[in-house]
């Protein structure tokens, strides 16, 4: 069972966040918000759509390097994955597996969207909050737990990989805190903490338990030449980390030696850690980067056997923690750290996953091991028992559940021929339920007239008012009542 986290004020001057059911509105994504961990010796970008890293173009900006102010440009993209088994068929049988998140094969495909609870682009719910920014400082505790903390929210209520590879929403919301320190042995690390909330009632009216949920990081590292990076599991003090490094430690333009990046599990709601290496193509003994819900989940959860092969291809890596069953409305916590360290002294001319020198006692890993130990200690002492961030920057409160008119997420979504929409009316009055295209043009009216308080169901066959099948794409289903409007998005695929 998940370790349930006590709720409480994680930020100052907060009001209770309305549940997703209360806060459904027109949820077209706003611009991606980007924050940066930049108070320590590394630089890491964080977005409000579950992606982290450093893009190649960032190296043109002074200071945006790993470590800061050196030419050691440790470039990579990464992001959170969460997968599980949910009742996505609405038949009461949890029989479909889904994984959502960052795609290391195509970084334009990221299935998370920013927390869909408001429309004002200045609403802090749509951006990354930074404790070092004067405009955000009042939103964080008066006594900080780190020299810099970032906070953001995202969910998968409208989970779309692409038109060609549509994805299935699992029904989770992530409240993310990340921490950077300036203290010795901690100044080359960034710690992420995720409180994962089951919002399956936004996918199906009845909600469901998500079974065998896994949380992880998919990583595309380019620590030097992207063709000779590699990865391997390494146990430090009996607990595993995923180690990533440059194989030959010889890179043009680098000062000193390239070093190591470790992904360190810190809080696991389950009992297992799974790691694997992925390839950008078809290579013997190495998994290709998974592109479908099922293959992503199998890789994350270890249903496909983990592989660590010799390098000399463009590496992707994956680390996951779990599994856990997450009941509707329950919260589970996972945490992981990115830890960088320079190689110390002499290292083998070529260091492979199978090299016998690759042990936690290796002299060239002494700085990394010290940093991993420091990160584990600070997490246990200062961060592990922080209350779950189930509170949020204040905004005028919506009425409670059952007190407002809402349209619930359609199912199936994505759909091909037909999808079902449920909407609940809390106060008697005239209503309209309409479909609009991505440009806001009306497509079809699903319901219109007087309604008494109840839950109603209507199907849409993917056709417009003139009876023609509409093209593949995103459509907005909007409920309008005397109380206001509520909307969800639907993806039609052929």
Q: What is the pLDDT of residues 65-85, one digit of tens each?
A: 566 656 556 668 899 999 999
Quote the strand ranges of 135-258, DSSP E.
148-155, 172-180, 189-198, 210-222, 229-236, 239-246
pLDDT digits (tens, 9 = 90+) for 209-240: 999 999 999 998 876 666 778 899 999 999 99
Across the range 145-165, mean pLDDT stands at 77
At 6 the pLDDT is 31
pLDDT in tens, 21-36: 222 223 334 457 888 8
pLDDT in tens, 98-115: 888 887 776 666 778 776
Task: Please state the rounded mean pLDDT for residues 48-58.
Answer: 76
Query: Which CATH code is given to the segment(s) 406-492?
Result: 2.60.40.4070
Q: Give the CA angle between residues 78, 81, 84 to the nearest 5°.
A: 170
- pLDDT average, residue stretch 462-468: 92
pLDDT score, position 387:
79
pLDDT of residue 28: 39
> Cα 58 to chain center, whole Å?
22
pLDDT at 313 over 60: yes
Residue 187, pLDDT above cutoff 80: yes
Q: Indicate the domain borders of the chain.
A: 14-393, 406-492
Split at pLDDT 50, 70, 90, the class of 1 is very low
The per-residue pLDDT for 95 is 73
pLDDT confidence of residue 32: 73
The torsion angles phi and psi of 271, rounded to 5 degrees, stand at: -130, -10
Tokens of 152: 């953001």
CA angle 447, 449, 452 (to 5 degrees): 100
More confident residue, 125 or 288: 288
What does pLDDT average to over the chain?
Answer: 79
The whole model's pTM is what? 0.76
305-309, 333-337, 401-405, 470-474: which has the highest mean pLDDT? 333-337
What is the model's pLDDT at position 455? Answer: 87
Question: Measuring CA to CA, which residue among 109, 39, 56, 43 is closest to residue 79?
Answer: 109
Instruction: Decide: 486 and 479 in contact? Cβ < 8 Å.
Output: yes
Hey, is 23 helix, strand or coil?
helix
pLDDT tens figures, 325-352: 999 989 999 999 999 988 888 889 889 9
- The answer, yes or no, to whether residue 124 has pLDDT greater than 70, is no
The beta-carbon contacts of 394-398 under 8 Å, at least 24 apart in sequence, are 394/13, 394/14, 394/15, 395/15, 395/118, 395/123, 395/125, 397/15, 397/16, 397/18, 398/18, 398/22, 398/23
* Residue 422 · residue 405 · CB < 8 Å: no
* Partners of 53 in beta bridges: 45, 77
- CA-to-CA distance for 40 and 323, rounded, in angstroms? 33
Cα-Cα-Cα-Cα dihedral of 319, 176, 322, 408, to 10°? -120
Residue 180: closest CA among 121, 231, 130: 130
Judged against a pLDDT cut of 80, whether residue 251 lies above it is answered with no
State the pLDDT at residue 367: 94
Residue 393 has pLDDT above 70, yes or no: no
Give the single-character DSSP code of 469: B
CA distance 394 to 17: 8
Which residue has better confidence, 254 or 113? Answer: 113
Q: Which residues contact 206 (CB under 8 A, 6 or more apart)?
A: none
pLDDT higher at 13 or 222? 222
Res. 386: pLDDT tops 90: no
Q: Taking 80 as the threshold, does the pLDDT of residue 181 lie above it?
A: yes
Distances (CA, A) of 314 to 6, 274, 278: 42, 21, 9
> CA 314, CA 310: separation in Å to the nearest integer?
11
Share of the chain above pLDDT 70, in %: 76
| pLDDT classification of 424: cutoffs 50, 70, 90 | confident
What is the average pLDDT across 432-453? 88
pLDDT in the model for residue 484 = 76
pLDDT at 379 over 60: yes
The pLDDT of residue 30: 46
Q: What is the mean pLDDT of residues 398-412?
A: 64
Q: What is the mean pLDDT of residues 258-286?
A: 89
- pLDDT value for 406: 80
d(CA 4, CA 358): 37
Determine the pLDDT at residue 123: 56
Which pLDDT band, with edges at 50, 70 and 90, does 117 fall under? very low
Token look-up 């997490």 returns 379
């Amino acid at each position: 069972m998940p370790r349930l986290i006590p709720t409480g004020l994680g930020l100052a001057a907060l009001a209770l966040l309305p549940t997703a059911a209360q806060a459904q509105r027109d949820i077209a994504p706003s611009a991606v918000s980007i924050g940066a961990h930049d108070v320590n010796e590394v630089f890491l970008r964080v977005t409000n759509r579950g992606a982290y890293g450093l893009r190649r173009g960032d190296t043109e900006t002074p200071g945006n390097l790993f470590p800061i102010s050196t030419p050691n440009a440790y470039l990579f993209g990464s992001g959170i994955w969460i997968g599980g088994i949910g009742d996505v068929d609405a038949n009461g049988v949890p029989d479909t597996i889904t994984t959502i998140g960052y795609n290391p094969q195509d970084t334009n495909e990221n299935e998370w969207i920013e927390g869909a609870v408001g429309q004002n682009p200045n609403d802090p719910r749509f951006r990354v909050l930074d404790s070092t920014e004067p405009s955000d400082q009042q939103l964080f505790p008066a006594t900080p737990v780190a020299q810099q903390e970032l906070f953001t929210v995202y969910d998968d209520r409208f989970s779309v990989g692409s038109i060609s590879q549509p994805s299935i929403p699992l029904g989770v919301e992530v409240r993310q805190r990340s921490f950077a320190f300036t203290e010795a042995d901690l100044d080359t690390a960034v710690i992420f903490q995720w409180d994962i909330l089951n919002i399956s009632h936004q996918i199906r009216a009845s909600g469901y338990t998500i079974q065998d949920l896994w949380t992880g990081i998919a990583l595309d590292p380019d620590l030097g030449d992207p063709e000779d990076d590699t990865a391997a599991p390494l146990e430090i003090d009996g607990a595993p980390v995923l180690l990533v490094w440059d194989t030959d430690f010889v890179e043009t333009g680098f000062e000193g030696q390239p070093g190591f990046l470790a992904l360190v599990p810190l809080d696991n709601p389950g009992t297992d850690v799974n790691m694997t290496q992925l390839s950008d193509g078809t290579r013997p003994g190495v998994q290709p980067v998974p592109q479908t819900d099922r293959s992503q989940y199998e890789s994350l959860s270890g249903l496909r056997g983990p592989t660590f092969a010799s390098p000399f291809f463009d590496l992707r890596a994956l680390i996951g923690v779990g599994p856990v069953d997450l009941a509707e409305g329950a919260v589970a916590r996972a945490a992981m750290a990115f830890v960088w360290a320079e190689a110390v002294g002499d290292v083998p001319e070529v260091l492979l996953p199978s090299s016998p020198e690759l042990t936690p006692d290796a002299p060239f890993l002494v700085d990394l091991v010290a940093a991993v130990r420091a990160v584990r200690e600070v997490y246990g002492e200062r961060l592990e028992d922080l209350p779950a961030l189930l509170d949020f920057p204040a905004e005028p409160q919506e009425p409670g559940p059952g007190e407002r008119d809402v349209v619930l997420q359609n199912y199936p979504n994505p759909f091909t021929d037909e999808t079902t929409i449920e909407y609940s009316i809390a106060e008697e009055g005239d209503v309209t339920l309409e479909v609009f295209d991505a440009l806001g043009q009306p497509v079809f009216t699903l319901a219109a007239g007087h309604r008494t308080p109840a839950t109603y169901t209507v199907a849409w066959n993917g056709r417009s008012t003139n009876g023609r099948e509409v093209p593949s794409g995103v459509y907005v289903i909007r409920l309008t009542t005397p109380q206001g409007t509520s909307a969800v998005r639907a993806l039609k695929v052929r």
